[in-house]
C-alpha cells in the first residue's frame, strides 16, 4: 500500500457523488433572499417600534401638559376661594369699632370697665350678623392668650386647637388657615387673622390687639373644586390630600368619612409621573400642586390605561400595515429567488462538469504538497490507527509509509511518548479544537524538540472520524532560545551585582525577592514558564536605582517630598532601560508596575486593581516585605509576622491572595529553610560589623 492509496477517508470525502452536491448559485440566492427578508423585517419592526414609541411619547407629553394645566387651575380655584374668605374676614377685622373694642379689651385684660361692658351686646350682635351674612359656621374674637372675647350666636366653645392657632397668629402677626376637619355641617376649616389697633405707631408699624377666628363651611366649595367638569375625560379625577399629625389623608367632601388615610409619599408627590394612585392600585399619570404655607396638595390623575388607549389603536393599525408590507416584500423576494433558482439550474450541468475537473486537479495538488512539505503529517482513525502519513513522516521514522499504515502509536514509539500522544488525541476530540504539545526526545548524544499539533478530522455530517497530526522539528529554535536565556541570565547577574555594589543596603535584596516571588508564584499555581519570567523580573526589580544619586539612595534620614519624587523616578527609568535591552514585555510590565497599589495610591501611574498585572502585585508585596525585615539607615527592622500583619491590615493596597500565598510559603519547609538561612546571614553581617567597629 503506498501513501496515495492510504488516504482513503480523504478520498471518500472528495469522491462524493454529484447528486449530493447542491448548486452554489441556488444556495446563494436562497441565502440572499432570506437575508434580505430578515433585514426588511428588522427594519420594518424597528420603524414600527419607533413610530409606536414616538406616539406614546407624544401622548404622555400631551397628558402631562393637560394634567399640569388642570391641577394648576383647580389649585387656583381653591386659592381664590380662600382669598375671598380672607377678604370678607379682613373687612370685619379692619372695622374701626372692632379694632377699638379689641384694643380696649387688650388694655383691660384683668376685667372690662363698665363702658366697655356696655358695648358687649352691640359687638355680640355685630359679630353674629357678620357670621350670618358671610355664611360662616362661627366667628370669634380672641385675646392674645386665646381667650374668646366675642363669639357669634350658637357658636360652640373654642377648642384647644383653635386657641393654639390664635396664640400662634398673635406671635407671628400673620393670617393662617387650619386643616380641614369634620364639623356639624360637614367639612370645616378655621381662618385665623390678626386684628390690629386703629392707631399706627410712630414707627409706622401696626400694633396687634386680638385675633379673629372664623369657621368656614368647606364641603360645597371643595365639592365644586373636585367634581368633574364637562371637559373631564373618563379615567380623570381631581383629589385633595391633607397632611395630618398621624399621616396623610385624602379629603372627600362628597362622602363619609370625609378623611381616608393614604400613603404620604405618593399623596405629596407633585412632579408629573406614572405611578400607583394613593389609596388604590390603579396605574395613573398624576401631577400635584402644593399650596404654599398649607398642608394641602391638589392632585389630578388620569388612568394610564385610559390615557394610552389611543396608542393601542395606533399600534394595531401600524402593525397591520407592517404585516402587509412584509407580505408584499416576501412575495417580491420569492419571485426573485424563483428566477435565480431557474438560472442556477440551467448552469448546474456545466458546473458539475467543471467541478469534476477541479477535484482531480486538487487531488494532484494535495499529493504534491504532502510529498514536498517538511512537516510530519499523519491521519489516524477514531481508534488511533494510522490511515495516512506523508513522506516526511515516514522518513523521520526511517520506515516505509506502508509499514506505518494500520499501526498505532504504541506499535511505533516508546510507551511514555505513545501515552502522551494518545492523551493529546483524546483532548483534541473532547475539546473539538486544536491541541498543541512540545516534546523533548533523546537523539544520540543530544536531543530533538518537536512541536506537535492535533486537530479533529470530521466528515460532512460534522462527525469526528479521526485526528490529523502535524509535527514540526523546532530543535534549532529551542537551541537559539536557550542561548538567549543563558545570555539573559548572565546580563541579569551582572546588573544585580552592579546594583548591590552601589548600595550595601540592597546586598542580597534582589536574591531574596527572587526566592520569595518564585515561591509565592508556585503557591498561586503559576506555570513553570511564568515562574521563570517572574524570577527574571525579580532579579531586575532594583535596576532603576542605578540612576539615583548615591547621596539620595543612601540617605540616613527620611526623604523630603521633592527627594521622594526624584527617587520614585527610578521606576520609569527601569522600564525604559529594560525595553531598550529587548527584555520580554511581561518582564517590563512586572518591574514597571511593582510599585503600584490596588487602591491607586502607588506610582508611577497610579494604576488600580485589574490594570496591575499579577506578577507586579507579587513583586510589589515581596519587595516591601524584604525591605521591612531588612535593616535600613533610617529605621529598625520588623519581624516577618509583623510585616505580614501590616499587609493583612491593608487589603485595599496589597492583593489578599498574594499575601495569603506569601504566608503559606513562609510556613512551608522551603520558606522556613530560607528564613533560617537569611537570619544566619544577618547574624554574620552584624557580627562582622561589630568586629570591624572594634578594630
Classified by CATH at the fold level, domain 358-473 comes out as Beta-Lactamase (3.30.450)
Distance between CA 114 and CA 104 in Å, rounded?
12
403: helix, coil or strand? helix
Lowest mean pLDDT among 412-416, 483-487, 605-609: 483-487
**Three cell numbers at 48?**
414600527
Per-residue pLDDT band for 16 (boundaries 50, 70, 90) equals: very low
End-to-end, the C-alpha distance of the chain in Å comes to 90
State the Cα–Cα distance between residues 171 and 146, nearest whole angstrom: 11
User: 148: how many CB neighbours lie within 10 A of its CB?
Assistant: 16
Whether 554 and 610 have beta carbons less than 8 Å apart is answered as no
CA 695 to CA 208: how far, in whole Å? 102
Q: Each residue of 205-230: pLDDT tens digit? A: 678 889 999 999 999 989 888 889 88
Give pLDDT tens digits for 581-638: 778 889 889 988 988 999 999 988 899 999 999 999 999 999 999 988 887 655 677 8
Q: Position of cell 389623608?
A: 249
Predicted confidence (pLDDT) at residue 531 exceeds the cutoff of 80: yes
Domain 94-222 identical in fold to domain 358-473: yes
Q: Provide CATH code, domain 94-222.
A: 3.30.450.20
Winning range, highest mean pLDDT, from 56-70, 405-419, 447-461 = 56-70
Local structure of 451: helix, strand or coil: strand
Residues paired with residue 244 on neighbouring β-strands, in sequence order: 247
> Where do the structural domains in the chain lie, given as residue ranges?
94-222, 358-473, 479-694
Peptide bond between residue 257 and the one before it cis (omega within 30 degrees of 0): yes
Q: Is 537 exposed, middle or buried (0-12, 13-18, 19+ CB in 10 A)?
A: buried
506 or 215, which is more confident?
215
Higher pLDDT, 499 or 669: 669
Judged by average pLDDT, the poorest of 22-36, 168-182, 553-567 is 553-567
Q: Residue 133 pLDDT more than 50?
A: yes
High-pLDDT (> 90) share of the chain, %: 34
- Percent of the chain residues topping a pLDDT of 70: 82
pLDDT of residue 418: 87
Average pLDDT, the chain: 83
Q: Any alpha helices (H) in 282-414, and if so which ranges? A: 304-307, 309-346, 348-372, 391-396, 401-404, 409-412
pLDDT at 420: 86
CB atoms within 10 A of CB 309: 14
CA triplet 577, 526, 669: central angle to 5 degrees? 105
Number of Cβ within 10 Å of residue 3's Cβ equals 20
Tell me: the pLDDT tens digits for 439-481?
Answer: 777 776 677 888 888 889 888 888 888 989 998 888 777 778 7
Indicate whether 140 pLDDT > 90: yes
Under 8 Å between Cβ of 506 and 496: no
Residues 213 and 191: beta-carbon distance below 8 Å = yes
Furthest-apart CA atoms within the chain: distance in Å: 146
Query: In this structure, what DSSP letter does residue 599 have?
Result: B
What pLDDT, on the 0 to 100 scale, is given for residue 499?
60
- Please check whether the domain covering 479-694 is classified as CATH 3.40.50.2000: no
* 665: Cβ contacts below 8 Å, ≥ 6 apart: 516, 519, 520, 522, 523, 671
Is the per-residue pLDDT at 313 higher than 70?
A: yes
Q: 200 falls in which pLDDT band (50, 70, 90)?
A: low
What pLDDT score was predicted for residue 293? 85
Of the listed ranges 9-23, 128-142, 361-375, 383-397, the one predicted with least confidence: 9-23
Q: pLDDT band at residue 54, thresholds of 50, 70 and 90? A: very high
More confident residue, 21 or 28: 28
The secondary structure element, H or E, covering residue 441 is strand 435-443
Flag whether pLDDT at 498 surpasses 80.
no
Predicted confidence band at 32 (pLDDT cuts at 50, 70, 90)? confident
Q: Are 71 and 297 in contact (CB under 8 A)?
A: no
pLDDT value for 12: 44
pTM: 0.45
Per-residue pLDDT band at 553 (split at 50, 70, 90) = low
Q: What is the mean pLDDT of residues 384-409?
A: 87
Amino acid at each position: 500500500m503506498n501513501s496515495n492509496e492510504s488516504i482513503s477517508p480523504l478520498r471518500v470525502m472528495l469522491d462524493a457523488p454529484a447528486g449530493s452536491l447542491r448548486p452554489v448559485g441556488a444556495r446563494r440566492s436562497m441565502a440572499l433572499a432570506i437575508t434580505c427578508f430578515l433585514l426588511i423585517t428588522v427594519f420594518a419592526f424597528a420603524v414600527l417600534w419607533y413610530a409606536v414609541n414616538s406616539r406614546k411619547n407624544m401622548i404622555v407629553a400631551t397628558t402631562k401638559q393637560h394634567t399640569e394645566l388642570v391641577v394648576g387651575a383647580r389649585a387656583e380655584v381653591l386659592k381664590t376661594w380662600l382669598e375671598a374668605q380672607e377678604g370678607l374676614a379682613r373687612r370685619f377685622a379692619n372695622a374701626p369699632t372692632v379694632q377699638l373694642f379689641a384694643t380696649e379689651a387688650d388694655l383691660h385684660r384683668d376685667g372690662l370697665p363698665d363702658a366697655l361692658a356696655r358695648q358687649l351686646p352691640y359687638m355680640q350682635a355685630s359679630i353674629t350678623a357678620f357670621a350670618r351674612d358671610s355664611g360662616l359656621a362661627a366667628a370669634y374674637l380672641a385675646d392674645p392668650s386665646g381667650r374668646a372675647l366675642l363669639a357669634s350666636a350658637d357658636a360652640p366653645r373654642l377648642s384647644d386647637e383653635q386657641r393654639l392657632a390664635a396664640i400662634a397668629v398673635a406671635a407671628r402677626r400673620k393670617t393662617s388657615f387650619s386643616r380641614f376637619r369634620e364639623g356639624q355641617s360637614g367639612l370645616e376649616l378655621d381662618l385665623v387673622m390678626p386684628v390690629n389697633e386703629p392707631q399706627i405707631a410712630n414707627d409706622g408699624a401696626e400694633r396687634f390687639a386680638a385675633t379673629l377666628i372664623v369657621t368656614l363651611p368647606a364641603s360645597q366649595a371643595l365639592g365644586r373644586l373636585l367634581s368633574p367638569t364637562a371637559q373631564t375625560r373618563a379615567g380623570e379625577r381631581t383629589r385633595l390630600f391633607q397632611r395630618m399629625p398621624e399621616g396623610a389623608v385624602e379629603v372627600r367632601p362628597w362622602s363619609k368619612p370625609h378623611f381616608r388615610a393614604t400613603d404620604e409619599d405618593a399623596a405629596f408627590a407633585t412632579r408629573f409621573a406614572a405611578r400607583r394612585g394613593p389609596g388604590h392600585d390603579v396605574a395613573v399619570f398624576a401631577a400635584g400642586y402644593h399650596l404654599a404655607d398649607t398642608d394641602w396638595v391638589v392632585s389630578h390623575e388620569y388612568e394610564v390605561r385610559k390615557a394610552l388607549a389611543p396608542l393601542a389603536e395606533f399600534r394595531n393599525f401600524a402593525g397591520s400595515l407592517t404585516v402587509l408590507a412584509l407580505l408584499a416584500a416576501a412575495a417580491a423576494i420569492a419571485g426573485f429567488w424563483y428566477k435565480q433558482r431557474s438560472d442556477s439550474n440551467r448552469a448546474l450541468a456545466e458546473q458539475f462538469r467543471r467541478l469534476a475537473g477541479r477535484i482531480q486537479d486538487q487531488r494532484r495538488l494535495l499529493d504534491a504538497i504532502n510529498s514536498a512539505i517538511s512537516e510530519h503529517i499523519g491521519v489516524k482513525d477514531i481508534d488511533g490507527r494510522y490511515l495516512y502519513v506523508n513522506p516526511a513522516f515516514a522518513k523521520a521514522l526511517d520506515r516505509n509509509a506502508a509499514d506505518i499504515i494500520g499501526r498505532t502509536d504504541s506499535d511505533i514509539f516508546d510507551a511514555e511518548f505513545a501515552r502522551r500522544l494518545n492523551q493529546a488525541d483524546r483532548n483534541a476530540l473532547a475539546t473539538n479544537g486544536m491541541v498543541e504539545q512540545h516534546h523533548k526526545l533523546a537523539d544520540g548524544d543530544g536531543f530533538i524538540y518537536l512541536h506537535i499539533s492535533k486537530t479533529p478530522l470530521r466528515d460532512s455530517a460534522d462527525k469526528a472520524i479521526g485526528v490529523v497530526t502535524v509535527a514540526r522539528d523546532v530543535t534549532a529554535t529551542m537551541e537559539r532560545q536557550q542561548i538567549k536565556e543563558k545570555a539573559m541570565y548572565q546580563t541579569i547577574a551582572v546588573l544585580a551585582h552592579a546594583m548591590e555594589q552601589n548600595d550595601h543596603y540592597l546586598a542580597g535584596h534582589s536574591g531574596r525577592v527572587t526566592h520569595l516571588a518564585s515561591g509565592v508564584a508556585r503557591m498561586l499555581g503559576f506555570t513553570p514558564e511564568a515562574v521563570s519570567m517572574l524570577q527574571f523580573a525579580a532579579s531586575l526589580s532594583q535596576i532603576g536605582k542605578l540612576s539615583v544619586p548615591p547621596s539620595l539612595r543612601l540617605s540616613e534620614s527620611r526623604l523630603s517630598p521633592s527627594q521622594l519624587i526624584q527617587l520614585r523616578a527610578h521606576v520609569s527609568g527601569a522600564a525604559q532601560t529594560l525595553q531598550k535591552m529587548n527584555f520580554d514585555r511581561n518582564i517590563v510590565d512586572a518591574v514597571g508596575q511593582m510599585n503600584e497599589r490596588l487602591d491607586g495610591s502607588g506610582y508611577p501611574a497610579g494604576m488600580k486593581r485589574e490594570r496591575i498585572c499579577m506578577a507586579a502585585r507579587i513583586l510589589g508585596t515581596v519587595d516591601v516585605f524584604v525591605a521591612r525585615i531588612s535593616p535600613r539607615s533610617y529605621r529598625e527592622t520588623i519581624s516577618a509576622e509583623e510585616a505580614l500583619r501590616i499587609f493583612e491590615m491593608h487589603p485595599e493596597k496589597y492583593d489578599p491572595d498574594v499575601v495569603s500565598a506569601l504566608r503559606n510559603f513562609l510556613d512551608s519547609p522551603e520558606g522556613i529553610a530560607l528564613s533560617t538561612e537569611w537570619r544566619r546571614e544577618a547574624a554574620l553581617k552584624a557580627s562582622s560589623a561589630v568586629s570591624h567597629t572594634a578594630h
